[in-house]
Structure 1
Amino acid sequence: MTWNDGLATARPNVPTGPTVPQGVPLWPAGGQNPPQQGLKLGAWRLDCANASHMAGLTYAFLVFHLLLWTVLATLSHRAPPWDNIEQLVWQQSLEWGYYKHPPFPTWWVHGWTELLGRKMWVTFFSAQLSVVLMQLFIWRIALMVTTPARAFASVVLSSLAIYHGVHGIMANHNTLQLMPVGLLLWLTLRAVRGEGSAGQVWRWALVGAAAALCLLSKYSALIWLAVIGLWLLQDARMRSWRAWGGVALALLVCVLLVSPHISWLTQEGSPGLNYAGRAIQGQNDPDQIDHWGRLAKFWVIQFGRVLPIFLGLGLMLALLRRANKKVGQAVDEAAHPVLDPAGERLSASSEWRFVLFMGLGPMLLTTVLGVLGVRLGSAWAATYFVMAGILALACLPLKPPSASPQFVRSVLWAGIVLEVLLALGMALGSGWLADLTGRGARSNFPAAKLARQLDRVWEAQATTPLRVVVGETWLAGNVSVRSKYQPLVFIEADTQKSPWIKPHMLEDCGALIVVDGRDLAEPMPAAMRELLDRAEASGRVKLHWTRLADRGPQLDVMWAVLPAQRPEACPR
């Protein structure tokens, strides 16, 4: 089967080069050379009309995006966001489900930690890699509706969304669903476009596998499947039983791949459905505003999270206007090749309708659910703006043409400047400014110092290696990740939340119990209280929260050591 979708050749029905009326020379007479179409980037001269060159520039920009956010987050954070710690805790064991969410994002993080180590920066990398792969798949769709240079512009604009940048370092189930969603959309469009081709059966099977990955990432994938279903119903290429046979195959593959998770979800005592039900009813969100206020808040938050795309558009337009003036002063209008304007416009094809459905459908459908009474969470829309970069192309002018160096240079500079500003804002706000203002945030939490002190406490009190740390996910997870022993985390002493903890572990090796001093005034889970009552030794670790000893709160952690009953059975 072939997968060519316009990268090396012109996209279907959309011209990508100059169209010259019969009898009109492409370049003016008189022996003049054609205007320079190359864009010089260091030692590399880019031909902006060459699809392969634009592909190389797109790949380079995606690598820049991945490295920028990963490196700056690693340098600025002393501890990752709460969701990243949660994934580092859950990935201690590969399960078919975890007490709050489906398993695929945790499998994804597990794979990268197995390869690169169970470290904070790996969570930033794995989250942003999901963003970059999503952008890669959506870029392939963009090539079907516009020119390669404008498809590159769509990638640049998409990268500016808060969900793909600032929130893109969060290894939560929203960010880690981006890659499966992008893959599903690209494979679906490829399957519909390939009706009658030799590889059609395999294409629909792959669509089913991608749909399964989306559902195994987060149940909000049902919104995407509903929108895709509506698009299939209206597409003329699906008006045959053979076409719907492919959809049936995709559904079958999806159900088969998801069935182990469904079995886990429906087993007696499984917490997954309870958590999902509370999320739909808004019980996981303490916000108590009324129904319409909540719906308005949802839309306001989404506007704020795509606002950088509008800022990017504004900067691009300003740079393009400046480029137009320079070209108008330096080069006679007759020196430019005659371009077919249709080559610069977005296609009015079925592929463009697909972009409209996938760009607008999820938000509209979710809004309808909100109107009907579902209490919407702002993070539900994290994957809804994957097409935003393509939709934004409608605001870019046709002059200078996308194959011109002026256009590509303007897009590239706008993207780099705003990406760097956003990433630096995240890094400074999470690191230096948090310390300077004396703010005790998760990003400047002294995880390494705390873990070193608790390692010394354990070594002074116990005769076995530290194999289990008991406590709340955030605190115990940070200790586990930074400890030289890399112990397993027993989340709140709850076996349902921590299936990787076996009954004999505490008896063989004992455990270190950690509790944030601020939580001691609150009711403690009964299982945690029982373990504390069995502890042989206890104490407190106190240290400055921020990097500046004279600013910020003091971290106060109570520790307790649960003795090993069979130390000879504890692995060394």
Structure 2
Amino acid sequence: MQQLSSAPSHGASDHNHAAIARRPQFADRHIPMALAMLGLAQVLMWGIAAWLGYSSTELDSAEQLSWATGLELGYWKHPPMPSWIMHGALMLFKPSIVLPLVMVQTGIVIALGLTWRLAREILPPRQAALSVLITSLVLYHNAGADSFNHNTVLLPFQAAATLAFFLALRHSSLRWWLAAGLFGGLAMLVKYVAAIHFAGLLLYLLLDRSTHLRRNFVGMLLGALVFALVLSPHVYWLHANGYPPMQYAHSVMIPLTGPASAFASVGQFIETQVFRLVPLLPLLIYIVRQRRAAPAHDDVEMVVSRRDKLFVWVAGAAPLLVTIAFSLLSGSKLEARWGANAFLLTGMVAIVAIRPHLTAERLKNIMGVTLLAHVVLCAGLVAGKSVVAKHFDRRTRANFPAAELAQEAERTWRKHTNAPLRLVATDIWLGGNLRAAGLPGVAVLIDGDYTKSPWVTQEQVHACGMLILDDTISNGRAGVANPEQLHTLMDSAEAAGSMTLNWGSAKQERRTVHWAYLPPHDAAHCTQAG
């Protein structure tokens, strides 16, 4: 009898090896697409999380929804670029709770993409990709960026200016110098602290003598001219209005009272910034251990030129160091948020320092782990501000009943008139949430102050009428305490009352918002603000 063998035939074995050989392998050419897919996933993930978990928008996002009513050359606290961007977005989409968060994450992804482009000028493809993954895990670039504000909007402009500056120097390109001036000017129109980052770039220029070429100096002059032209309308506005952003910045700065105060301020600031790096520490530990364990043939040894190392170290470290120096020289206490724009080159600094060996398969696995980390960070933040906060009877900016507020405001207005509700006087948080959660067409007279809201005039208030809302809870109001202009408007109102919102549990005092009604006098010819 013929004995049957269970061993596979050589033909079957060859077929299996051929199938494995045909299996698509992750290669360097797949890196850009993989990074793009990770970026898209980040935007979608935060949008879905906000849609599922948030019932109101964050404070800074509400502020931009309020400011974006009018296109101004400047606003009382800050330069105008974020509000211009929000204004453009609102021409395409209705105000919503989700929109600001999607815009934030889109800007961060763009910034990371530009940082990837810069990293490719200095690092091999895999190490460049790894540097972006590391940078994406800085808390300022994920869970710490759930508000559309001047810090988050600055990131893509800062990245674009850095990339243009680097390419201008490396190629002595007048075209890139013009681009550096353009993006530098736009970055300053986002927030003046962009100058701190530019100080680091200029320091590198001074240190790298190989860049001291006549063509580069000519290019710098042209870039400076573009920079000045971009800023000139805003500078004119500053001069014409008495420099309100500078006055605001001066009013909120906390003075240092001596050496001990300065030492404590710097220590607390550094401690906070280190905490912002915690999510990327496991990845750094992993690549350090792999670097020590990897055989020499695991990957080609990474080589970075001396001038490129100098750029990475100086441009990467300068923003944080210059911020600390500014605080000490100006005698102002360091605020934690001042570090929000200091970490775009964190991943590049880490890669230049560690010089990791990296196979394509290992990079693919790190991408998967990084995506998982982003999911955990997003879910943790959103759940903490919504589901977990509700369970423990905590009020947060994310679980405020904005839709209920909008419905109550509309119902109160309709009790007195059939004219459309066009104008509301209140603080920026209530005003922004009204626009995001049911009243997209209203314009906000912030704190009842016409200087803070030039898109609203007294003539419009007389014609259209106005609903005034005063959030009296001292620890929840966004803006100055007891705003005199708002109280003056309330005192002149035809009717007044209060609304109680279902915010918190039965164990807590319900949120009370006082309202007052100014009637329209020419509703048929009412011109909508903005």
* TM-score greater than 0.5 by the shorter chain: yes
Task: Determine whether 1:355 maps to 2:327.
Answer: no
Task: Determine whether 1:179 maps to 2:156.
Answer: yes
Of 119, 138, 144, the residue aligned with 2:96 is 119
Deviation at residue 245 of structure 1 after TM alignment: 0.8
Structure 1 residues 554 and 531: CA distance shift in structure 2, 3 A: same
Structure 1 residues 444 and 570: CA distance shift in structure 2, 3 A: same
Contact 2:299 2:359 (8 Å CA) reproduced? no
Greater shift in the superposed pair: 61-70 or 225-234 = 61-70
Instruction: Provide the secondary structure at the position in 1 that maps to 2:514.
Output: strand
Greater shift in the superposed pair: 227-236 or 210-219 = 227-236
Structure 1 residues 273 and 408: CA distance shift in structure 2, 3 A: same
Amino acid at match of 2:139: I
Instruction: Provide the secondary structure at the position in 2 that maps to 1:514.
Output: strand
Task: Determine whether 1:423 maps to 2:378.
Answer: yes
Instruction: Provide the secondary structure at the position in 1 that maps to 2:190.
Output: coil
Greater shift in the superposed pair: 485-494 or 367-376 = 367-376
Instruction: Provide the secondary structure at the position in 2 that maps to 1:465.
Output: coil
Task: Determine whether 1:566 maps to 2:519.
Answer: no
Whole-angstrom distance in 1 between the partners of 2:265 and 2:201 = 27
Deviation at residue 180 of structure 1 after TM alignment: 0.4
Contact 1:139 1:155 (8 Å CA) reproduced? yes
Of 220, 244, 251, the residue aligned with 1:247 is 220
Task: Determine whether 1:264 maps to 2:237.
Answer: yes
Contact 1:166 1:422 (8 Å CA) reproduced? yes
Whole-angstrom distance in 2 between the partners of 1:467 and 1:478 = 15
Question: Unaligned 5+ residue runs, structure 1?
Answer: 1-32, 325-332
Whole-angstrom distance in 2 between the partners of 1:504 and 1:224 = 44
Of 462, 466, 472, the residue aligned with 1:511 is 466
Give matches, 1:65-464, under 5 Å. 65-195=42-172, 200-279=173-252, 281-282=253-254, 290-314=261-285, 338=297, 341-342=300-301, 345-372=302-329, 373-394=331-352, 398=356, 401-405=357-361, 407-464=362-419
Deviation at residue 565 of structure 1 after TM alignment: 2.3
Whole-angstrom distance in 1 between the partners of 2:481 and 2:206 = 53
Cα shift readout 1:51-102 (whole Å, capped 9, x = no counterpart): x311111111111222222321332111111000000001101111100000
Structure 1 residues 100 and 37: CA distance shift in structure 2, 3 A: farther
Whole-angstrom distance in 1 between the partners of 2:355 and 2:487 = 65
Contact 2:101 2:146 (8 Å CA) reproduced? yes
Contact 1:69 1:165 (8 Å CA) reproduced? no
Instruction: Provide the secondary structure at the position in 2 that maps to 1:556.
Output: strand
Deviation at residue 323 of structure 1 after TM alignment: 11
TM-score (norm 1): 0.82
Amino acid at match of 2:377: L
Deviation at residue 37 of structure 1 after TM alignment: 9.3
Deviation at residue 428 of structure 1 after TM alignment: 1.0
Amino acid at match of 2:186: L
Q: Which residue of 2 aligns with 1:26?
A: none
Amino acid at match of 1:359: G
Greater shift in the superposed pair: 270-279 or 374-383 = 270-279
Structure 1 residues 550 and 528: CA distance shift in structure 2, 3 A: closer
Whole-angstrom distance in 2 between the partners of 1:427 and 1:269 = 40
Greater shift in the superposed pair: 514-523 or 418-427 = 514-523
Whole-angstrom distance in 1 between the partners of 2:243 and 2:325 = 30
Instruction: Provide the secondary structure at the position in 1 that maps to 2:145.
Output: helix
CA RMSD of aligned residues (A): 2.8
Whole-angstrom distance in 1 between the partners of 2:54 and 2:89 = 19
Contact 1:440 1:553 (8 Å CA) reproduced? no
Task: Determine whether 1:531 maps to 2:492.
Answer: no
Deviation at residue 532 of structure 1 after TM alignment: 0.9
Deviation at residue 244 of structure 1 after TM alignment: 0.6
Question: What is the identity percentage for the equivalent residue pairs of Structure 1 and Structure 2?
Answer: 29
Cα shift readout 1:220-252 (whole Å, capped 9, x = no counterpart): 111112111111112233222221110111111
Q: Which residue of 2 aligns with 1:47?
A: 26
Instruction: Provide the secondary structure at the position in 2 that maps to 1:515.
Output: strand
Contact 1:467 1:485 (8 Å CA) reproduced? no
Q: Which residue of 2 aligns with 1:557?
A: 513
Contact 1:315 1:414 (8 Å CA) reproduced? no
Whole-angstrom distance in 2 between the partners of 1:182 and 1:552 = 45
Structure 1 residues 322 and 108: CA distance shift in structure 2, 3 A: same
Structure 1 residues 488 and 74: CA distance shift in structure 2, 3 A: same
Whole-angstrom distance in 1 between the partners of 2:438 and 2:193 = 35
Whole-angstrom distance in 2 between the partners of 1:152 and 1:213 = 27
Q: Which residue of 2 aligns with 1:497?
A: 452
Contact 1:79 1:447 (8 Å CA) reproduced? yes
Structure 1 residues 34 and 300: CA distance shift in structure 2, 3 A: farther
Whole-angstrom distance in 2 between the partners of 1:413 and 1:103 = 38
Q: Which residue of 2 aligns with 1:329?
A: none
Structure 1 residues 37 and 534: CA distance shift in structure 2, 3 A: farther
Deviation at residue 315 of structure 1 after TM alignment: 5.3
Amino acid at match of 1:570: C
Deviation at residue 193 of structure 1 after TM alignment: 1.3
TM-score (norm 2): 0.89
Cα shift readout 1:528-547 (whole Å, capped 9, x = no counterpart): 2221122111111112214x
Structure 1 residues 362 and 322: CA distance shift in structure 2, 3 A: closer
Q: Which residue of 2 aligns with 1:328?
A: none
Question: Unaligned 5+ residue runs, structure 2?
Answer: 1-16
Whole-angstrom distance in 2 between the partners of 1:119 and 1:551 = 30
Whole-angstrom distance in 2 between the partners of 1:570 and 1:395 = 63
Q: Which has the higher helix share?
A: 2
Aligned length: 505
Give matches, 1:23-34, under 5 Å. none
Deviation at residue 440 of structure 1 after TM alignment: 1.1
Whole-angstrom distance in 1 between the partners of 2:21 and 2:125 = 15
Whole-angstrom distance in 2 between the partners of 1:164 and 1:95 = 28
